[in-house]
A and B are shown apart, each in its own frame.
Chain A
C-alpha cells in the first residue's frame, strides 16, 4: 500500500513536471504570436528553431568536437599525443577495420537481396500475411536476445558427446563427422555472426520492399507485358527501376544499423577469434580499458566512415526527386 502511494506520488510529480513544461511552452509561443511587423519573422525563427538548435549543439556538436579533440590526446585525455591514436588504429587494428568493412558491405546487401527475393516470392501468395509476419518477427527481438538464441545454435560439443548446438547436429546428420567449432572457425565465424544480423534485418527489408512492389501501378506492368516483357526482363527493367528509391533507403538504413552494431559481436565472441569490429573495440577501449584517446579515435574513424554513406544517400534521393 505504501509503495502504491509512493508510486502515485511519483506519477503526480511527473505529471506536474510535464504540465509545467507544457505551460512554459504555451506561454512562450503565445508571446511569440504577439510579435508583429518586422519582428514577427525572426521571432518565429527563434522560437521554433531555438530549442532545436540548442539541443543540437548540446547533444551533437559539443560532443563531436570534444570527441575529436580527445582523439588527439592520451588515455586519460590530459596530454596531446598528435596522430598517435590514429597511428595505432592503422598499425595494429587493421583487421578490425577490415572486419567492419565486410560487415558494412555484406550484411546490407545480403539482407536486401534476401528481403527482395522473399517479397517477390510471397507477393500475392495465399496467406501472405502469415508468412510475412513470421519472417518479420526477428525484427522484434533485441540484438542481445537474438545473439543468445544464435549462440545456442552455434554451440559446440565434442562429436562423441550429446550435441547441444543445432547447427552442429544438422551437419552431423548430413554426415560431417567432426563439425567445426563454429565461433572459432576463422574467417567464417565473421559470416556466421553476420547471419544473425541478416536474420534480424531481412524482415524489415522484405516488408518495405513488398510495399514498394505493390505500389507499382498496374498499368505500367500491363504496358510492359503488352510489349512482351516477361520474367527476368520484367523484373530487371520494370520492377527494379520502379522501386529503386526504396531499395536505396533499405540498403542505407541497414548500413547505418550495421555501423552502430556491437551487441552481436560483444555477446557472441567479444571480438575474440578474429571477429572484432570498430564499435566493439571503441567500447572496450573507452569503457573497459579507460583509454579515452583511442576510444575517441575509433569513434572518429566510424564517424568519417558514415559521411560517404550519408552523402550517397542524400545524392540518390535528390536525383530521384529530380527525375519525378
Chain B
C-alpha cells in the first residue's frame, strides 16, 4: 500500500517536471516577445531621457536661434508623449522637424507610433494611460473620444494659429459640441485627376480647367481611340472606397458645403434627389462604357481592379487618359515604371478636378490628422501650440512628402512642381470650399461598410441606383 502511494507521489513529481518543462517551452516565445516590446520602449525612454537632460541644460542658456521659441519657454526638463498611427520612416521626419524646438525649449517629445492606433487609443484612455498628445486621423474618432471623455480643449496658442492660418472648415472638424479640441497636422488632397503630361503633349491635349472642358477632352480621347478614364475599387478589406470619393467629389461640386454637411449628417438621405443626381453624374462618367476602363476592359472591371494598379494604363501611354485619385497616388507611379517622373513635364502629374459651377468656388475634398491633447500640463499645451504653428509646418513640409493646409507655410517650401506644392496651393486657398472625406465622417456601418460594398455592387453587378441608395440608407444606424 505504502509502496503504491510512494510510486504515485514519484509519478506526480516526474509528471510535474515534464509538464513544467513543456509549459516553459510553450511559454518561451510569448515571454521573449513581450520582453522585447517592454525593453524596446524602456531603451527608447532612456535614450530620450538622456537627450532630454542635455537639452534642458542647453535650454537654460537660451542658445542663439531659439528666439522663435520664446512663447514655449519655461518647461525645461519635461517630457511630452505623442501617440500616432504614423510609422517610420515618416517618424524620423517628424522628429527632425521638431528637433530644434526640443533643443531650445528643453521639452522632450517622445514619439510612439502604432499600426493598431485606433484600437489601442480608446483602450489606453479607458485604462488611465492616455498619451499626452495623439494624432487622430478621423474627426469621427475625435468626437467619439470626446463623448467618452479624455481630450482636453485646444491650447490658446493652437486655437489662435488655426483661426489665423486655416480654412475655417478645418476648425469645424477639430470641434466637438462647440468646443475646439484639435488643430490639423498633415493634410491630403483628394480632388485630383492624374494624367500623363507626355501623352497629353504628344496628342495636343490641354489640361481642362472647367467641367465642360473635362468632358470635351474625354470625348476627344474617345474619338482618338483612347479610353479617357480608368479606375479601380479593389483595396482588400476597404474595397470600394475610391467610388465613395467619386461620389463625394460630385456631391461637393454640385451642391456646395452646406448640402454636403447635411448629407454627412444624414439630414438628407442617400435616396434624396440630390444624391441620386450625383450618382447619375458618375454613371455618365465612370460607368460610361465609352469612357472606361482604360487598360483593363469594361465598366465591371473597375470593381476587380486594385486601386494601386488602376493607373497602369496612364503610365503605359495611351491605354488610359485620366484617373481621379488623391495626392498620395504620386507614390504609385514608380510601380508601373521605375523611370516614372511625377511633375508637370514628366510621365505622371495631376490637375485639379474642375468645379462644376462658379457659385461653388474651388471645392476640395481631403483628409488629415488632428493634434489632440489629453492633458493640460503647460508643456503639453506648448507642444500642441507649436505643432499648429506655421514654423513647425514649414519645417516639416521642407522635409518633403508631406502637405500642410496651414496657409502660413510659403508655397516655395515645397519642391517646385511637386504634387505636394500643387496640393498645398488648393488646400490653403482661403476662398475655396474644403470638406473632409465624407465616408470618414459617416458612421462606420455606412462609411466603412454599406457605402463601400454597395458602390462596389453598383459597378460589379450593375445593381440599380435606387436599390444601392436604399440599401445604404438602410444601413444607417437608427440612433
Give the interface of A toward B (CB within 8 A). 6, 9-11, 13-14, 17-19, 21-22, 24-26, 28-30, 32-34, 36, 40, 44, 47-48, 51, 74-75, 92, 156-158, 161, 181, 183-184, 186, 266-267, 269-274, 284-285, 288-291
Contact = CB atoms under 8 A, between A and B. Distances in A.
B425 interface: no
Most A-side CB within 10 Å, residue of B10, B24, B36: B24
Interface residues on B, range: 35 or more
Contacts of A288: 237-238, 444, 448-449
B9 A40 contact: yes
B16 A32 contact: yes
Contacts of A29: 12-13, 15-17, 19-20
Of A33, A44, A272, the most chain B CB neighbours within 10 A belong to A272
A36 B35 contact: no
A186 B298 CA distance: 17
A291 B444 contact: yes
Given A29-B13, A184-B300, A75 B477 contact: yes
Nearest to A44: B12
Nearest to A267: B236
B461 A273 contact: yes
A158 B293 CA distance: 10
Given A33-B13, A284-B237, A13 B300 contact: no
Contacts of B283: none
Nearest to A283: B237
A158 B300 CA distance: 11
Closest 8 CB pairs of A and B: A29-B16, A25-B20, A14-B32, A158-B297, A17-B31, A289-B449, A33-B13, A22-B24
Contacts, number: 138
B296 A14 contact: no
Interface stretch (B56-64, B174-182, B359-367, B452-460): B452-460
Nearest to A43: B12
Nearest to B9: A33
A19 B39 CA distance: 19
Given A21-B24, A157-B296, A10 B39 contact: yes
A10 B5 CA distance: 43
A158 B319 CA distance: 12
B449 A284 contact: yes
B237 A156 contact: no
Given A158-B298, A272-B460, A273-B461, A30 B16 contact: yes
Nearest to A154: B304
B12 A36 contact: no
Nearest to A30: B13
B36 A10 contact: yes
B8 interface: yes
A272 B456 contact: yes
A24 B24 CA distance: 10
Nearest to A276: B453
A181 B31 contact: no
A271 B448 contact: no
Given A26-B20, A186-B461, 16 more contacts: A14-B28, A21-B20, A21-B24, A22-B24, A29-B20, A33-B9, A33-B12, A40-B8, A75-B445, A158-B297, A181-B297, A184-B303, A272-B457, A288-B448, A289-B449, A291-B444
